[in-house]
Structure 1
Amino acid sequence: MVDRTTLTRRETVAGAAALALLPQAAAGQGGAPAKGEAPGAGEAPGAGAGQVTGVVYEDRGGLGRRGPGDPGIPDVLVSNGRDVARTDADGRYTLPVGDETVIFVIKPTGYALPRDADNIPRFSYIHQPAGSPAGLNLRYAGLAPTGPLPASVDFGLTRSEERGDFEVILFTDPQPESHAELGFVRDTAVTRALGLGAAFGMTTGDVLFDDLSLYPRQNRIIGRVGIPWFHIGGNHDLNFEAPDARHSRETFKRIYGAPSYAFHYGGVLFLMLDNVHYLGAATGTPARGGRYEGRIGERQLAFVEAVLRETPRDRLVVVAMHVPLLTDLDPDSPGINTVDREALLRLLAGRPSLSVAGHTHTTEHHYLDASGRRVAEGAEGHHHHVLTAVSGSWWSGPPDRRGIATADSRDGTPHGFHVLSIKGAATYTTRYVPASDDAGRQMRILLESQFRTEDLARLPDTRLADLFGSPVPAESVGGTDLVVNLFDGGPRSRVRYRIGDGPWQAMARVRRPDPFVAALYARFAATKKSWVKAEPSSHIWTARLPAGVAPGCHRLSVEATDEYGRLHRDGIVLEVLGGESAPGRRI
């Protein structure tokens, strides 16, 4: 039985049993525990608290260090993860600092951050004199001792033109647990992202699936997209040998720097939050199991409040996190919802804002009031978008012609990613991009009659397309449902259909599993991860076909209006057979 208050790290959000755990490996390095707090709590000033000072400067020479001709940049924000300081006329700042603090610059519009060879932005300095605690016995290396705090912690920026119209690639949950699956990421989503012309990209958690040794190769692959790529951690990026949240991001910090941070681009504020609050090893399991909840925590909320205090109220704010603020799967589970979302939403109230998340391997849109509840249909509210997972159903499903798992998500959305489009630094849209479907379709259209998933066991040679398409015997048309999965649909989307030139008929949004994906998992059970099953989808529309459709071939057209009012069109051929001409009995 699964503990519904928390989820183990290798358990799925559906509450499946934990998978087999890998053996322990080499130890990390030394430190001290602190009271539980939100992820990144190791950054809190505490024992040994003092001050850090430094300069944010314009790196005119491109040397990566301040030269004699590099002026300081005034009015730039710098943070220790809680407090925020603004640089003076000479570019200098001062902040409180403790024995475990990450100091980072908040890039302003019109400047670029330095990047490494894999296009990972470098904007933070980790002050952890003792390094990662040796007693943790981390499987994946944490931080080496950083030594005494430098006399000046400086950050160099370069001038860069940034327009108010730009795009951002939004990945979540690529989640490869092997080199083979990392190849799937490379040959699907990353390949589709090449040439999109985005300003930058981000991955909102579960960069990997527990094996943190894959970070270097993952970074080399993503780096070839050729744009800055930001990362935040998911529950599968944790060091779960840690007893609590404080040291649960040691490997992530070594690879990427600050686990939560912010930056401006094109007049928009991006807040990158780590809301996977690690609670330690699960009771009765080996050290490679763990529990967590969705929680932003007091420290990060103080950081958000401080940054917003320095940000004009008409500035668009985009918040990225891993665990959704709210999900349709189980709105009461702290393992897949953010328990303190109300505190964040109250800080964002009155500002134009969007938040994005992943984690659930579903695609969802929610509109929330300042208390974190869904608003009435048509009412204004904060838009929270749960993104399509790059890995779909954790790389489950039969292989395609390339040998890559088809990976349809458990709500029926083909695996993929989203692109955020900003217009005039004030308005936005998102669009779904399938990672493997060359047709780029935005919906799946099915005909559902007497078929039952268990029939697959006795009909091993029946194609799924035959089970959910034409032909339909004339006497069965009135008992057939049209089912449309609008992959990126939500509560503001509308779907309608018509047969031939007949009148348009509205379809009803229902919460139910996608029958195609349910059948796919049943037919190809040996190709999926053990916990994967079809879950109720938030973007299914249905309608019963009218009786009396004449035998023959008819064009069945579908029109869908998405969350942003954009129109999508698709259709199928509805073939209706008369009694004598039917080639066989339809199941």
Structure 2
Amino acid sequence: MPPASLTRRETVAGAAALALVAGRAAAQTPPEATGTVSVADPSGARAPLPGALVSNGREVVRTDAGGRYRLPMPGDGAVFVIKPRGYALPRDADNLPRYGYIHQPEGTPAALGLRYRGLAPTGPLPAAIDFTLTRSEEPDDFDVLLFTDPQPESRHELGHVRDTAVARAMAIPAAFGITTGDVLFDDLSLYGRSNRIVGRIGVPWYNLPGNHDLNMQAPDARYSRETWKRVFGPPSYAFHHGRALFILLDNVEWFGPPVPVGSNSYRGRIGEANLAFVRNLLAETPPETLIVLATHIPLWTDADPDARNTTADRDALLDLLRGRRVLSLAGHTHTTEHHYPAEDHHHHVLTAVSGSWWSGPDTRTGIPCADSRDGTPNGFHVLSVRGTAFTTRYVSAQGEPDPAMRILFESEPRAGAPEMVRASLPLHALRPPVPQDALADTEMVVNVFDGGPRTRLTCRIGDGPPLALTRTRRPDPFVTELYARYPDAKKSWVKALPSSHIWTARLPADLAPGAHRVIVEGSDEYGRPLRSAVVLEVTGARG
């Protein structure tokens, strides 16, 4: 039977009902960010890039044959491209890679009263958020400069960053650099000058925020990265280089202005969105890829492992990384540490560029010696990636007589001597002649600046038998002496703390008076040879 004919009134009413349903459906459909990823050739012509990864910080999608992508964007958020191997991101004049777009229609609320400028309103979601890359040769073997905690508190201290770590890094060939947080020390107005200085190293420089990069007037985590987003872009992101995937995650969770001042106002936490991002990103990543993960707050630390110094949900992250070859990097504690949470996971807490927060007596250059709390001179690391294998090496920012270790002799009577007697001893040696009858009470203390649980050491004095060295958790006598002698030259919170890379041995009691050659040798965390030597003077018995 043919359908009955509809009257005009019925037809109009039906159309209206359909329009209402369609409108409601559209209102319930989450907004989407759309756009393309393309490649520009030297002439400026662009071609679509299929298969490139794009993310909103949670979901990860691949571009289609036309280079197009679609991602949910239900409210404020960000979209960023995950640079594939063999391509380069655009960079600004200070070599900051431009990898993302911040979507915040209303901008940073003025009512927050932030001390440092946040985001201007971005307006409605653009019709297209496009990313343009260029082709770039990327060999399997490359080096990366690793900074953490430059942390200048003033324009004057920013000059120290320029004249130490940056000056030294400029002479080291590298594909790019990374700073794993605390780019500044609370004064976010210095970002412009800091980026200009670091940009002169001349390579792409990726940055990760720390707890001193926060907008500390923000009432909670939602608006705690407003200045960071304006200057750098999305705080968590990723990129490929060679056969490695670099994942940078903001793991500082802000609770709001501390009450009272100095209370625990943040903690280390990856967070549910970042974990989802890692999960989705790894699902698109071949299992043989080397994963280099960077956070500011360590996953593990030997230094004060409270909520502000470790990551609360690290086990959830470990579950995602299980079975992968992983190097995870962190800063924050101003110590140098190596941890091995799984067979193929090496966690490296990096040496701070600022060391002891630019504390200590000035050298002849007018720059504080800045030795860290665990005895490591301030500096940075170089990551060397060779295919999917890697090593790291420590670089002293101000130069050391021995760049690998410091060998000292500490006698029990001397350790208990009054300050005025201790102050008469040479600080940079701490190796005074030892009376023969004090040998049994004297300990050799060896600080391997970048040592850890896989470092192996032996010692030989003259032609004597090998002397066993024991890894010992204890303060470094050099920084203990340094801070005691120059209390007015350090920040109030700086003090020597037990170090994870010290080895000790009692001196043989039967050494004859005279000068003895002391050789310490062995291998570092990667099995590379270590060797250092000093002269030990033994005098006659004390009168």
1:353 maps to which residue? 326
Amino acid at match of 1:99: G
2:195 pairs with 1:219: yes
CA distance in 1 between counterparts of 2:40 and 2:83 reads 13
Aligned runs of 1:114-133 on 2, under 5 Å? 114-133=90-109
What's 2:302 paired with?
328
- Asked if 1:112 is matched to 2:88, the reply is yes
Other-structure match for 2:370: 407
Letter in 2 for 1:203: T
Residue matched to 2:460: 498
Match for residue 291 of structure 1?
Answer: 265
Shift of 1:473: 1.1
Q: Are the counterparts in 1 of residues 326 and 344 from structure 2 also a CA contact under 8 Å?
A: no
1:53 counterpart letter in structure 2: T
1:427-475 deviation per Cα after TM superposition (whole angstroms, max 9, x unaligned): 0000000000154511010001022276224554332245x20311111
Contact 2:181–2:207 (CA under 8 A) maintained in structure 1: yes
Of 517, 532, 548, 2:479 maps to: 517
Q: How far did 1:507 drift?
A: 0.4
Answer 1 or 2: which has greater helix percent.
Answer: 2
5+ residue gaps, structure 2, are: 1-26
Question: In structure 1, which of residues 389, 401, 406 is the aligned counterpart of residue 352 of structure 2?
Answer: 389
CA separation in 2, counterparts of 1:135 and 1:454? Answer: 58
The code of the aligned residue for 1:549 comes to L
- 2:36, 2:129 within 8 Å by CA — same for their partners in 1? yes
Secondary structure at 2:81 match in 1? strand
2:179 — aligned with what?
203
Query: Residue 407 and residue 62 in structure 1: after superposition, are their counterparts in 2 closer, same or farther (change >3 A)?
Result: farther
Mark the CA change 1:60 to 1:204 in structure 2 (over 3 Å): closer, same or farther.
Answer: same
| CA deviation map 1:339-389 (0-9, x unaligned) | 0000111111001111000000000001114xxxxxxxxxx2521100000
1:148 Cα deviation (Å)? 1.6
Q: Which amino acid in structure 1 is aligned with residue 93 of structure 2?
A: A
Tell me the alpha carbon deviations over residues 131-184 of structure 1, each in whole angstroms, 9 at most, x when there is no partner.
Answer: 011111000000000112211110000000000000000000000000110000
Identity %: 61
- Tell me the amino acid that sits aligned with residue 532 of structure 1: V
Give 1:515 shift: 1.0
Kept in 2, the 8 Å contact 1:48–1:99? The answer is no
Tell me by how many angstroms 1:578 deviates. 1.9
- Which residue is 2:389 aligned to? 427
Aligned partner (choices 53, 57, 73) of residue 77 of structure 1? 53
1:491: Cα distance to partner?
A: 0.7
Structure number with bigger Rg: 2
By how many angstroms is 1:533 displaced? 0.2
- The one-letter code sitting in structure 2 at the alignment partner of 1:303 is F
Closer, same or farther: CA 73–386 of 1 in aligned 2, 3 Å = same
User: Whole-Å Cα distance in 2 between the matches of residues 315 and 127 of structure 1?
Assistant: 31
SS at match of 1:512: coil
- For the pair 1:50 / 2:12, whether they are aligned, the reply is no
Q: 1:471 to 1:440 in 2, by over 3 A?
A: closer
Q: Is the 8 A contact 1:280 1:290 kept in 2?
A: no
Which secondary structure does the structure 2 equivalent of 1:534 belong to? Answer: coil
| Structure 1 residues 62 and 340, CA gap change in structure 2 (3 angstroms) | farther
Counterpart residue number, 2:285: 311
Instruction: Write the deviation string for residues 529-558 of structure 1: whole angstroms up to 9, x where unpaired.
Output: 000000000001000011110111111001
- Aligned letter for 2:300? L
Indicate conservation of the 8 Å contact 2:323/2:344, yes or no.
Answer: no
Using the alignment, how far apart are the partners of 2:525 and 2:163 within structure 1?
29
1:55 is paired with a residue whose SS is strand
1:136 is aligned with what amino acid? L
Aligned partner of 1:276 in structure 2 is 252
Equivalent position amino acid for 1:353 in 2: V
Query: Any unmatched runs of 5+ in structure 1?
Result: 1-45, 64-68, 370-379
In the alignment, is the contact (CA less than 8 A) between 1:366 and 1:384 conserved in 2?
yes
Q: Is the 8 A contact 1:72 1:91 kept in 2?
A: yes
1:257 is the counterpart of 2:230: no
Deviation by residue 1:200-226 (Cα, 9 ceiling, x = unmatched): 001000000000000000000000000
Could you tell which deviates more after superposition, 84-93 or 570-579? 570-579
- Between the aligned partners of 2:409 and 2:43, the Cα distance in structure 1 is 60
Equivalent residue number for residue 178 of structure 1? 154
Q: Distance in 2 between matches of 1:485 and 1:48?
A: 61
Task: Give matches, 1:362-377, under 5 Å.
Answer: 362-369=335-342
Which of 441, 444, 448 is the matching residue for 1:482?
Answer: 444
Letter in 2 for 1:414: P
Shift of 1:47: 11
Could you say what secondary structure the match of 2:394 adopts? strand
Partner of 1:9: none
Matched, 1:508 2:470: yes
8 A contact 2:327–2:345 mirrored in 1: yes
Q: What is the CA-CA distance between 1:60 and the residue it aligns to?
A: 1.6
* Counterpart position of 1:18: none
Match of 1:156, SS state, is strand
Moved more, 164-173 or 496-505: 496-505
Q: Which has the higher contact order (CA 8 A, sep 6+)?
A: 1
Is 1:228 paired with 2:201?
no
Inter-partner Cα distance in structure 1 for 2:178 and 2:416: 38
Match runs of 1:92-107 below 5 Å: 92-107=68-83
Q: How many residues of Structure 1 are paired with residues of Structure 2 in the alignment?
A: 516
Q: Deviations over 1:59-99 (max 9, x none)?
A: 22475xxxxx3110010000000011100111100000133
Structure 1 position 106, deviation (Å): 0.1
Label 1:127 to 1:61 Cα distance change in 2 as closer, same or farther (>3 A): farther
1:146 aligns with 2:125: no
TM-score under structure 2 length normalisation:
0.92
